[in-house]
């Protein structure tokens, strides 16, 4: 895991600094805009099997940006042990077993009068380690709109070369969207 200590990456980083300099101020909003940002995002999306990619300066900034944006789109439902960078304001206080929580969450969503939800979780429990099974979300009603926001910082590119931890996406239907955030320190 340690992209920052990988010799091949270090050489590419040094080449990038020589080519683009050490800082580009406000990046994309600067009066000089470099195509490297679009190219890097396109590369990341293709590498990990997504339609689009967005690169930010840190994993923490990425998760905060996404969770704050999605908090306006639907009710946030946090899984147990969600990484602190995913917390909107404070620890959501969700405890217990992921499997039990996921079944209760599906039941809650299906019975709720609300129609839009954002499920926030790590892709795996890196303390045990345990890969979470998200297939239970296949039982969510088609009448509900669900965004699954996963932090895959501890699994991206590790469990599957050039892939995210969650390769099985068969449970995702038209009413569901998958958004994955990760720190490339580990990719």
Mean pLDDT of 165-187: 76
Instruction: Give per-residue pLDDT as tens, 11-32.
Output: 888 888 888 777 655 555 665 6
- Conformational region of residue 39, where left means phi above 0, alpha means psi within -120 to 50, and beta covers everything else: alpha
Instruction: Give per-residue pLDDT as tens, 1-12.
Output: 466 778 888 888
Top pLDDT among 167 and 144 is at 144
User: In the block, which residue shows the tokens 């490297």?
Assistant: 36
**What is the 3-class SS of 28-55, one letter each residue?**
HHCCCCCCHHHHHHHHHHHHHCCCCCCC
Alpha carbon distance 28, 93 (integer Å): 37
Half-sphere exposure of 124 (CA within 13 A, CB side): 18
Q: Which pLDDT value is given to residue 50?
A: 86
Q: Which pLDDT value is given to residue 175?
A: 94
């Amino acid at each position: 895991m340690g992209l920052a200590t990988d010799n091949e990456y270090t050489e590419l980083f040094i080449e990038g600094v020589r080519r683009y300099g050490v800082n580009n101020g406000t990046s994309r909003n600067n009066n000089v805009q470099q195509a490297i940002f679009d190219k890097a995002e396109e590369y990341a999306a293709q590498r990990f099997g997504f339609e689009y990619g967005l690169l930010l300066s840190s994993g923490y900034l990425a998760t905060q940006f996404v969770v704050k944006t999605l908090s306006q789109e639907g009710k946030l439902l946090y899984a147990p042990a969600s990484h602190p960078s995913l917390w909107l304001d404070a620890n959501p206080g969700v405890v217990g077993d992921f499997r039990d929580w996921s079944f209760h969450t599906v039941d809650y969503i299906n019975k709720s009068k609300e129609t839009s939800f954002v499920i926030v979780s790590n892709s795996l429990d890196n303390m045990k380690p345990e890969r979470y099974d998200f297939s239970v979300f296949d039982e969510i009603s088609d009448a509900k709109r669900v965004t699954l926001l996963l932090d895959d910082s501890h699994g991206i590119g590790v469990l599957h070369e050039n892939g995210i931890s969650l390769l099985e996406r068969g449970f995702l239907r038209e009413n569901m969207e998958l958004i994955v955030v990760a720190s490339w320190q580990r990719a």
